[in-house]
Structure 1
Amino acid sequence: MPKIIEVCNQVRSKNAGPFWITIDLRFPDDASFQRYHLAPALQPNAIAALYGVDPNLIKYFSLPTLRVVKISYPRLYPQGGVVERDMHGGQQYVRLLDVELEAQ
């Protein structure tokens, strides 16, 4: 199975306020988007396991006209907190790069 880094032409993460992180997965074409946007590895339970958060709090958005999947999850620690290590949320996408995508 291909990995996210092999399928998506852009993967990024960023703040979605001081308590949330958003990850954007951009697919290069409609065929790739249709094949993988519903992959089990991108669903709330898998993301929750990967990031250690409650699956009921995961927000998943599929945007076919943009060929983008957006996934938001609550930060473990508030932005700027004493133990928070990624102020802008820009490094959180890295965990996803080697995740394998099963075609749907």
Structure 2
Amino acid sequence: MADQTLDELADLVRAKNAGPFWLTLDVFLPSDEVFARVAASPVVDPVVIADLYRATPDVVRIFPMPALRAIKISLPRPVTQGSFADRDMHSGQQHVPLARVLVPERA
């Protein structure tokens, strides 16, 4: 098992609005083993997420849900949904930076 991107490991990585001011990223994983690997990776590091999405780590919220083999990440949208500067009204494309995060091989 080598280092892989989150997209290679996950069943689904998606983004959506969580109201007009928040963005939510969801990661659904195929097994308990893969969940444990991802939960121990940069994917759950607020500093990494903040860097990817140009936010500050203190506003990033990460919710690992082992019973569902899912991880939910929430952070403020960079602009209010529907505002003139909004380039992705439904935040549907915002999962791409997260999907590219490298998940290290577990030791």
TM-score, with normalisation over the residues of structure 1? 0.94
User: Aligned residues, how many?
Assistant: 104
- Runs of 4+ in structure 1 displaced over 4 angstroms? none
Equivalent AA in structure 1 for residue 59 of structure 2: L
* Amino acid of the structure 1 residue aligned with 2:94: Q
- The one-letter code of the counterpart of 2:52 is L
Instruction: Please report how far the alpha carbon of residue 94 of structure 1 lies from its aligned counterpart in structure 2 after TM superposition.
Output: 1.1
Distance 1:16 1:31 in 2: 29
What SS is found at the alignment partner of 2:84? coil
Matched residues, percent identical?
A: 42
TM-score w.r.t. length of structure 2: 0.92
Query: Aligned match of 1:72 in 71, 74, 83?
Result: 74
Q: Return 14-23 or 88-97, whichever deviates more.
A: 88-97
2:42 paired residue among 35, 40, 43? 40
Unaligned regions of 5+ residues in structure 1, if any?
none
Could you tell me how far apart the structure 1 residues matched to 2:87 and 2:30 are?
A: 31
CA distance in 1, matches of 2:93, 2:21: 15
Q: How big is the shift at 1:95?
A: 1.3
Secondary structure, in 3 states, of the residue corresponding to 1:92?
Answer: coil
* 1:86 aligned partner: 88
The answer as to whether partners of 1:41 and 1:102 remain within 8 angstroms in 2 is no
Give per-residue Cα distances to partners, 1:32-66, cap 9 Å, x unaligned: 00121131243100000010001100000000000
Distance 1:9 1:66 in 2: 12
CA distance in 1, matches of 2:20, 2:64: 23
Residue number in structure 2 paired with 1:53: 55
Give the Cα separation in 1 of the matches to 2:83 and 2:93: 16
CA distance in 1, matches of 2:83, 2:64: 31
SS in 1 for 2:24: strand
**Partner secondary structure for residue 6 of structure 1:** helix
Q: What is the Cα deviation at residue 26 of structure 1?
A: 0.5
